Structure 1
Amino acid sequence: MQHRRMRALARAFRRSPLLIAFALGSLLVGLTPLLGAASTWPGGRGPTPRPTPGAVDHQTGQQSPHHGVAPANAMEPAAPLLDRTGWTATASDEETTRENGRAANVLDGSTATIWHSRYSGTTAPLPHSITIDMHRTAVVSGLVYQPRTTGINGRIGEYSISVSADGQSWGSPVATGTLADDASAKTLGFAPQGARFVRLTALTEAGNRGPWSSAAEINLLGDPGTPAATVDLPRTGWTATASDEETVKENGRAANVLDGDAGTIWHSRYYGTPVPLPHSITIDMHRTATVSALVYQPRKDGVNGRAGAYTITTSTDGVTFGAAVATGTWRDDDTVKTATFIRASSARYIRLTVTREAGNRGPWTSAAEIRLSGPANPAAHGSWSRITGFPLVPVATAVLPGDKLLAWSAYAVDRFGGSNGYTQTAILDLKTGLVTQRRIDNTGHDMFCPGIAMLADGRVLVTGGSNAQKASIYDPATDAWTATTDMNIARGYQAMTLLSTGEAFVLGGSWSGGTGDKAGEVWSPATRTWRKLPGVPAAPAMTADPAGAYRADNHMWLYATSGGKVLQLGPSKQMNWITTGGNGTITSAGTRADSQDAMTGNAVAYDIGKLLTLGGSTAYEKTPATRRAYTVSTDGTQVQTARTGDMGYARAFANSVVLPDGKVAVFGGQAYPVPFSDATSVLTPELWNPATGRFTPLATMAIPRNYHSVANLLPDGRIFSGGGGLCGTCATNHADGAVFTPPYLLNADGSPKPRPAITGGVPARAAAGTSLTVTTDRPVASFVLMRAAAATHSTDNDQRRVPLASTATATGTYTVTVPADKGTVLPGTYMLFALDAQGVPSISRFITVS
């Protein structure tokens, strides 16, 4: 019943998505003051919201928020729709003879009128463009494209978006991609920036029906609270002062916003005679720095005093403050807020002035923490590429030879549910940026919520999920999907890994497929059949999640070693050794130091027998995430664990990627995990250095990456980060991704560092234990194999970094030895990198190790 309601809502949304979005948003905004009205004292708490009821799982009969409609607040856009008053639109061409197809129609509020490229007489060939002039400069972070609702011709397929301050200088596109051929509204995000003009260029028609382009409505999104190309500024030595502060009834001093503790707050004075609004708090950095954003964290212990309407000004001397660099109104909730400056400012003092309490509850202002961000240094923090749009939400991804990235969602491009027997897939060509879409029907498999293993011959094995017993294989050599034998046990959210034997092992997965212990089983590539492992029950590897097995056996972290053996090192705090011969066995490997359960955290193999575990929470959702990270080392028999440096941010639903130099980058996640929500998003990636055990911040992400997001190491040493959402008509679907360039590839000015090149000696296939004669264009210091990997739901058990022994035999010639132990170098496809003495990697060469 729930899914029928969702589909009915989807049909209504397709008829008039903007009207429904506006109506829901208005309803929520209108209810906000009422929900807070019960609390009148500054320290009071508002009413506790009732949980959103979940839908019933078709397989298990259980009720779960995962299958439910997205939380109500997820319907609110992550960024506000900008006011279109005074805007104008012009187009490269428009149809005015056969119909009123003028560009101005995209701003008239009616989906019945459209802009259409010229088709009478001599048809104007593609590409076509339409340009919005806001007649004022504003922070812009996305374009909402509503296709025509009557007829299908002219729906935009491939597109690019550019912005300009003056309408003359456009620069490189800020976003490119491919849209699905349907009538739903499309939100096309990009890194927030100040602009007056925004141009949408249609490169193809979605259905390739002709050389036409059309649009019913175009909206622009404002400041989402995610500044572009910034990094957190260190707060060492900072001080804070306020226009007033409460010191009698509580410790509400201004200094609390800099103490790193969200439990202590600054509060305006309310004892005796409250100080009326406005209130201000000023940060003195005690040094001049370039600042481009302010991050405001509301109090967590109550609702009163949340900042609503605000202004931010800057000063070099603390006396003269200039024109506002940011103004706006924050929503009345406890999510972390960011104000992106319309222009970066060189200043010592930053002042936040609050003119209205968010819920209009009284004349109060409070803040738990305040941070400032400045422009990133590419050599220290890396940089982000433009946003690439996908015709689906990339919930699962796999890196393929030929510079391709395979992605898939579910039966639909933006939602899941049921067991429909088909899957929407896409392939990103990393060389051209082109994304192609295809629906896979022939395997009878809806591959949402799967287990994934990269096979020894380079194929991708996908198991279970919405069609919980199915198993399918993608062959990158033929670009074909085929079915293989069904599993013995139906599963969803199970864990998988390839074994040193070349077989594939699976465990857990109670999200779908009915109740009962989801014991292990093994798939044989020789017989294409599954063998049960009754000696490997899932129970010893489960967390203590209050939802029981339905959540407790999900997304396990598996590390395959010699002899078909596997170390299960999380997310349960207890680790286990698993053998896969005969009936199999599972025995305790001890606990992960002092770690608690860490569901929706992850583990990354950064060296031979060495793994880093990051983040997670004690329950799947609605439990605070942790900042903690641990190292786990094993020789195949013994396991040693230790706590390493904490991350700067608590994260669950994050994704982590090991780099060729052995460092680990972590992207996205939430401090308080809630599926289908962008609240408490962490937008600052971090980089862990195994030499120091410390995390350092990287350049800020433009778009949240939380539940249903992915990250993958690419063949050129960069990283793809994308996805998030898949919740139908909610506002947190992120059908896009971006490529991150790590610091090791960049100079301080953002230009690429010179990098070595592998010029020869890398065969397509090599056996374990083989010595290769590899040539390079310049001297290098080391070689490393990085396993081509697959990611979904924060987990990537295919990741593996294998440093290689090498000897220089002549200038630019090296003998490079592949380890003989298949527990060290699992059979399969690898990317071979050469690194110079500064740790700069080459572009990789693909090699399949057997």
Structure 2
Amino acid sequence: MQSRRSLAFIRSLRRSHLLVAFGLGSLLIGLTPWLGVVSQAAGRAPAPRPAPSDRQPAVQSPHHAIAPANAMEPAAPVLDRTGWTAAASDEETGGENGRAGNVLDGSADTIWHSKWTGTPAPLPHSITIDMHRTAVVSALVYRPRANGTNGRVGEYALGVSTDGQNWAGPVATGTLADDAGAKTLSFAPQGARFVRLTALTEAGGRGPWTSAGEIDLLGDPGTPAATVDLVRTGWTAAASDEEAAGESGRAGNVLDGSADTLWHSKWTGTPAPLPHSITIDMHRTAVVSALVYQPRKDGPNGRAGTYAVTASTDGATFGTPVATGTWRDDDTVKTATFTRAASARFIRLTVTSEAGGRGPWTSAAEIRLSGPASPAVHGAWDRITGFPLVPVATAALPGDKLLAWSAYAVDRFGGSSGYTQTAILDLKTGKVTQRRIDNTGHDMFCPGIAMLADGRVLVTGGSNAEKASVYDPATDSWSATASMNTARGYQAMTLLSTGEAFVLGGSWSGAAGDKAGEVWSPDTRTWRTLPGVPAAPAQTADPAGPYRSDNHMWLHATSGGKVLQLGPSRQMNWISTSGAGGIATAGLRADSPDAMTGNAVAYDIGKLLTLGGSPAYEKTPATRRAYTVGVTGGEVRSARTGDMEHARGFSNSVVLPDGKVAVFGGQSYPVPFSDATSVLTPELWDPSTGTFSPLATMAVPRNYHSVANLLPDGRIFSGGGGLCGDCATNHPDGAVFTPPYLLNADGSPKPRPVITGGVPARAAPGASLTVATQAPVASFVLMRASAATHSTDNDQRRVPLVSTATGTGTYAVSLPADPGVVLPGTYMLFAIDAQGVPSTARFITVS
């Protein structure tokens, strides 16, 4: 039951010059070598927000509908193909008209096909689009042939070039699903004249063929690559005109960090005519490469349409525009990527038309400026990896593998069909393999997840709400285990210090009622109920009731089988899992409100950080707030730490080996299946200062149904988002982020410590290891292999270790004896040098 976009729909999108911007793209960690074939209105009252039914489907027990009404809105322009040409590595001209140019003729009934008469040309096959002009490009849209299955692209690589002669490494790689749906292969936006698609395999393995019905290219989606937000401290804004009588529409509102305030052109009395301009004065000179424009979120009036951006060093002389264009009439955050970086103090945005043509108005909620990222300060993103599904849930595995799964289909959910689409990314080769799991009778969409003591992955509930399944990475196999006593979806899980697995909540799926806790035993493979642990004390005050209020709880397992439930409800609770269980208050999370769609991460022993979230699951503003929660015995202390620069709901957070925490993606106004108000700048929290700093901008939004995982090389995988069928916010892809601790200023990798021996496959709590390293190191740390879904990862845990040098390059490394500190399971052991650079990890199971 795959996605099928009708030809009429695609053509209608092309006519409006709009199409899905982000979709299948790819990241191949080490495509070696890069293939030789590739290396060549009247009143101004704010418009009301839509009612819930306008944006998010009503509950269809036990499942949502597939997507909201506006989900089909595409996110980037289809580039005009006038004057384009196409050339292929080979083409069929004997048995059929399979010339390369057919991919540009507007008809899916004509195709490019690799040569098959006589001696067929072997894979790989490539086709190169020459736009005969340079343009910002962000994706290639591939439409398989409409009249058959042969030649559908499987594994692929994308390259870009400005001259057709010099091709760097691939900008995207990945694997496409074997179906007839249109595929969008995304990459970081960049200027190019030539774009080359290379097919490495045929999707169905039916032969050495490649074919394509149509190919389009997408333009600037409004997400600049390799940039970072400039700090706005001390900035001021001035406008050509502003509304100060009928509302507070001052220019300075675009710099206050709130999307609830706005600059508006003058509209009382005689409205000021277009054009309107707003000038940012940074009060210092900086290199600027993009302007980020956030429209007002309370209505459409004044959305910027046609615009120009100019720069100045003195505020008097502004040169030729560094960016021009026309923004779409929607509420998504927009970026004007400069054709050339500008060293300037003043940046001016001039708007010459209103996007919706409703009147002579201009408004803006927020304006930010971006500059070139420094790898040693902001980190760097690798190429994008395309998956044959939307990775809604992921788990890091030994052997440099990342397990991903979604639902019964590669791009939609709600089937309760008893099977699940899965994929595995091999981090060494970059290849993604797909498999449908039928033998467990379990559609594992919206599950609970716990990494077990022996390294297996326990997945519970979701669409088939009572089911439970176990994945064994040692055998790459799935098996069914006993069903839960209570059917659940969106539930929370954690492994306990006893080695059992605890689950709580999950009213998204299954019959209504309090979703009290229960525990799974690895010895008996059965569940026992905990009548003393009702879900109600741990719920938020979401207006949707338990359906939303008991979702995605933040659970932290401690000694003696106890669990601290520290969110998203403002009320924290201690949970006992022995006998019938019990739940008791642990106090409030300082002055935090409920924070659904936020998350928590254990960054040190007994120390957790909570980030973002919103009072309700959707359509309420997210917060910038972050809190630390300290646990000492039965005492819980919570305090507010520094705020994030951006408010975030549906973000993902990952603790690094050095104890810092990176947060990716999210929305300032969380709405499922939407990329509006996306936050594209990750941030890094430093526990030593309690402050956040910006990281390099993401190329793809990561919101609802996105994930992030720490990898064994100290980098981070960030991917997913969407899973809403034929919509514009499906992101069946991911990318690996390299944190700044691994990079020099020029982007080259820093020398890293190396663990050369002494790490057994298994060790008991309290054991002492004799670890050998290639050169002296400063410390060792255990990072628990973890699993993520729906912004929640209760498996994350960082455990600094006590170590003593015993000789040149040898260390006695002590594991904590308390299984409430070093929770049973599989860990990544990192060595960290005196400069804070981590080694590549060695896997060890502690139990």
Per the normalisation by structure 2, the TM-score is 0.95
Name whichever of 594-603 and 259-268 sits farther off: 259-268
Separation in 2 of the partners of 1:575 and 1:527? 31
| Alignment pair present for 1:74 and 2:74 | no
Separation in 1 of the partners of 2:616 and 2:48? 25
Name whichever of 151-160 and 319-328 sits farther off: 319-328
Contact 1:14 1:183 (C-alpha < 8 Å) held by counterparts: no
Q: Which amino acid aligns with 1:387?
A: I
Change (3 A) 1:302 1:158: closer
* Selected match of 1:473 from 470, 474, 478: 470
The alpha carbon displacement at 1:556 in A equals 0.6
Q: Please name the residue that 2:460 is paired with.
A: 463
Q: Please name the residue that 1:784 is paired with.
A: 781
Contact 1:165 1:196 (C-alpha < 8 Å) held by counterparts: yes
* Selected match of 1:581 from 578, 584, 587: 578
Name whichever of 150-159 and 313-322 sits farther off: 313-322
Separation in 2 of the partners of 1:211 and 1:602? 47
Q: Please name the residue that 2:716 is paired with.
A: 719
- Measured against aligned partners, the alpha-carbon deviations of 1:742-780 in whole angstroms (never above 9, x if no partner) come to 010011110111110000000000000000000101111
Aligned residue pairs, count: 827
Separation in 2 of the partners of 1:118 and 1:378? 44
- Measured against aligned partners, the alpha-carbon deviations of 1:451-498 in whole angstroms (never above 9, x if no partner) come to 111000000011111111111111000001111111111111111111
| Alignment pair present for 1:13 and 2:18 | no
Separation in 1 of the partners of 2:252 and 2:56? 42
Mapping for residues 270-289 of structure 1, pairs under 5 Å:
270-289=267-286
The alpha carbon displacement at 1:314 in A equals 2.4
The alpha carbon displacement at 1:166 in A equals 1.4
Unaligned runs of 5+ in 2: 21-40
| Alignment pair present for 1:341 and 2:346 | no
**What SS class does the counterpart of residue 534 from structure 1 fall into?**
coil
The alpha carbon displacement at 1:44 in A equals 5.1
The alpha carbon displacement at 1:840 in A equals 0.5
Q: Please name the residue that 2:546 is paired with.
A: 549
Q: Which amino acid aligns with 2:503?
A: V
The alpha carbon displacement at 1:241 in A equals 3.2
Change (3 A) 1:829 1:261: closer
Separation in 2 of the partners of 1:417 and 1:831? 35
* Selected match of 1:794 from 791, 795, 807: 791
**What SS class does the counterpart of residue 806 from structure 1 fall into?**
strand
- Measured against aligned partners, the alpha-carbon deviations of 1:185-212 in whole angstroms (never above 9, x if no partner) come to 1111111111111111111111111111
Separation in 1 of the partners of 2:376 and 2:760? 33
The alpha carbon displacement at 1:291 in A equals 1.3
Separation in 2 of the partners of 1:255 and 1:459? 53
Separation in 2 of the partners of 1:559 and 1:51? 35
The alpha carbon displacement at 1:233 in A equals 0.8
Separation in 2 of the partners of 1:489 and 1:76? 38
**What SS class does the counterpart of residue 113 from structure 1 fall into?**
coil
* Selected match of 2:595 from 594, 598, 601: 598
Q: Please name the residue that 1:331 is paired with.
A: 328
Separation in 2 of the partners of 1:149 and 1:529? 49
The alpha carbon displacement at 1:414 in A equals 0.4
Change (3 A) 1:105 1:183: same
Contact 1:24 1:75 (C-alpha < 8 Å) held by counterparts: no
Mapping for residues 146-545 of structure 1, pairs under 5 Å:
146-247=143-244, 249-545=246-542
* Selected match of 2:43 from 41, 46, 51: 41
Q: Which amino acid aligns with 1:41?
A: G
| Alignment pair present for 1:666 and 2:663 | yes
**What SS class does the counterpart of residue 143 from structure 1 fall into?**
strand
Q: Which amino acid aligns with 2:755?
A: I
Contact 2:55 2:70 (C-alpha < 8 Å) held by counterparts: no
Separation in 2 of the partners of 1:25 and 1:142? 14
Change (3 A) 1:518 1:740: same
The alpha carbon displacement at 1:677 in A equals 0.6
Name whichever of 653-662 and 310-319 sits farther off: 310-319
Q: Which amino acid aligns with 1:230?
A: T
Change (3 A) 1:25 1:516: farther
Separation in 1 of the partners of 2:824 and 2:4? 50
The alpha carbon displacement at 1:57 in A equals 5.7
Separation in 1 of the partners of 2:236 and 2:56? 46
**What SS class does the counterpart of residue 72 from structure 1 fall into?**
coil
Change (3 A) 1:840 1:462: same
Separation in 2 of the partners of 1:258 and 1:629? 21
Change (3 A) 1:20 1:246: closer
Contact 1:308 1:354 (C-alpha < 8 Å) held by counterparts: yes
Separation in 2 of the partners of 1:818 and 1:79? 51
The alpha carbon displacement at 1:102 in A equals 1.1
Change (3 A) 1:56 1:254: closer
The alpha carbon displacement at 1:320 in A equals 4.1
Separation in 2 of the partners of 1:299 and 1:525? 52
Q: Which amino acid aligns with 2:233?
A: T
**What SS class does the counterpart of residue 502 from structure 1 fall into?**
coil
The alpha carbon displacement at 1:355 in A equals 1.0
The alpha carbon displacement at 1:172 in A equals 1.2
Contact 1:14 1:185 (C-alpha < 8 Å) held by counterparts: no
Contact 2:296 2:331 (C-alpha < 8 Å) held by counterparts: yes
Contact 2:98 2:114 (C-alpha < 8 Å) held by counterparts: yes
Name whichever of 493-502 and 299-308 sits farther off: 299-308
Separation in 2 of the partners of 1:645 and 1:658? 17
- Measured against aligned partners, the alpha-carbon deviations of 1:776-831 in whole angstroms (never above 9, x if no partner) come to 01111100000000000000000000000000011111000000000000111000
The alpha carbon displacement at 1:246 in A equals 4.1
Change (3 A) 1:284 1:526: same
Q: Please name the residue that 1:760 is paired with.
A: 757
The alpha carbon displacement at 1:274 in A equals 3.5
Contact 1:15 1:149 (C-alpha < 8 Å) held by counterparts: no
Q: Please name the residue that 2:53 is paired with.
A: 51
**Percent identical:** 80
Separation in 1 of the partners of 2:535 and 2:428? 42
Separation in 2 of the partners of 1:289 and 1:24? 37
Separation in 2 of the partners of 1:822 and 1:46? 52
The alpha carbon displacement at 1:243 in A equals 3.1
Q: Please name the residue that 1:703 is paired with.
A: 700
Name whichever of 67-76 and 93-102 sits farther off: 67-76
- Measured against aligned partners, the alpha-carbon deviations of 1:194-252 in whole angstroms (never above 9, x if no partner) come to 11111111111111111111111111111111100110112233333333344555554
- Measured against aligned partners, the alpha-carbon deviations of 1:62-91 in whole angstroms (never above 9, x if no partner) come to xxxx71242233212121212222221111
**What SS class does the counterpart of residue 541 from structure 2 fall into?**
coil
Contact 2:49 2:299 (C-alpha < 8 Å) held by counterparts: no
- Measured against aligned partners, the alpha-carbon deviations of 1:147-175 in whole angstroms (never above 9, x if no partner) come to 11111010000001111111111111111
Contact 2:680 2:700 (C-alpha < 8 Å) held by counterparts: yes
Change (3 A) 1:23 1:518: farther
Q: Which amino acid aligns with 1:776?
A: T
- Measured against aligned partners, the alpha-carbon deviations of 1:636-687 in whole angstroms (never above 9, x if no partner) come to 3110100111111111110000000000000001111111110111100000
Q: Please name the residue that 1:612 is paired with.
A: 609
Change (3 A) 1:46 1:553: closer
Per the normalisation by structure 1, the TM-score is 0.94
Q: Which amino acid aligns with 2:42?
A: T
Separation in 1 of the partners of 2:52 and 2:449? 36
Separation in 2 of the partners of 1:580 and 1:263? 44
The alpha carbon displacement at 1:619 in A equals 0.8
| Alignment pair present for 1:769 and 2:766 | yes
Change (3 A) 1:48 1:203: closer
The alpha carbon displacement at 1:21 in A equals 4.6
Separation in 1 of the partners of 2:318 and 2:57? 53
The alpha carbon displacement at 1:622 in A equals 0.8
